[in-house]
């Protein structure tokens, strides 16, 4: 953990963005599994465009709103505000 904390800010921001790139589609896939309570490849093909679009839409919003900058610097009300705005904009655009 110490070596991670010693990384430059931009590397930590990149790691956070890379994690979102992986976990946003994974969260969407898990939501599909929970909703339909079965594993069906055809079902995932139906939602594939949304699964791919989720990080493509969300990551630029997260960067623009300053979510990664806020996470790396400190956790306070600004982070909560950035998270709420980012997620809301992402959901509205995906909707």
For the stretch 8-55, pLDDT in tens is 878 888 888 998 999 999 998 988 888 898 888 888 899 999 999 999
Residue 47 in tokens: 């939602």
Q: Is 0.75 surpassed by the pTM of this model?
A: no
Inter-residue contact 17 to 68 (CB < 8 Å): yes
CA pair distance 24, 26, nearest whole angstrom: 5
Q: Give the pLDDT confidence score for residue 61 in this predicted structure.
A: 92
d(CA 74, CA 87): 19
Instruction: Kindly state the DSSP code that residue 49 receives in the 8-state scheme.
Output: H
pLDDT band at 77 (very low <50, low <70, confident <90, very high): low
Give the highest mean pLDDT range of 8-17, 48-57, 67-76, 80-89: 48-57
Q: Cα-flanking dihedrals φ and ψ of residue 76, to 5°?
A: -155, -155
Distance CA(52)–CA(56), nearest Å, equals: 7
């Amino acid at each position: 953990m110490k070596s991670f904390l010693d990384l430059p800010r931009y590397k930590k921001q990149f790691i956070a963005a890379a994690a979102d790139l992986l976990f946003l589609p994974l969260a969407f896939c898990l939501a599909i599994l929970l909703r339909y309570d079965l594993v069906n490849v055809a079902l995932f093909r139906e939602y594939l465009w949304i699964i791919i679009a989720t990080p493509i839409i969300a990551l630029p919003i997260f960067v623009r709103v300053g979510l990664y900058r806020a996470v790396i610097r400190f956790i306070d009300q600004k982070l909560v505000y950035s998270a709420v705005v980012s997620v809301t904009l992402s959901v509205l655009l995906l909707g």
